[in-house]
Amino acid sequence: MLLNDSAQAIVALGVCATVAVTVVSIGHAYVRRLELQKKPSRPEIDVDVQGRMSRIEQAVDAIAIEVERMSEGQRFTTRLLAEQFGDQDRAPDGSGSQSLTRRSGEHETNGAGGSHGR
The residue ranking higher by pLDDT, 110 or 33, is: 33
- End-to-end distance of the chain based on CA atoms, in angstroms? 108
Please tell me whether residue 87 adopts helix, strand or coil conformation: helix
- Band of pLDDT at residue 22, cut at 50, 70 and 90: very high
Q: Is the dihedral of CA 68, 73, 77, 80 positive or negative?
A: positive
CA angle 6, 22, 13 (to 5 degrees): 5
Given a cut of 80, whether residue 103 has pLDDT beyond it is no
Q: What is the pLDDT of residues 44-98, one digit of tens each?
A: 788 899 999 999 999 999 999 999 999 999 999 999 999 888 766 655 555 544 5
Query: What single-letter DSSP state applies at residue 109?
Result: B
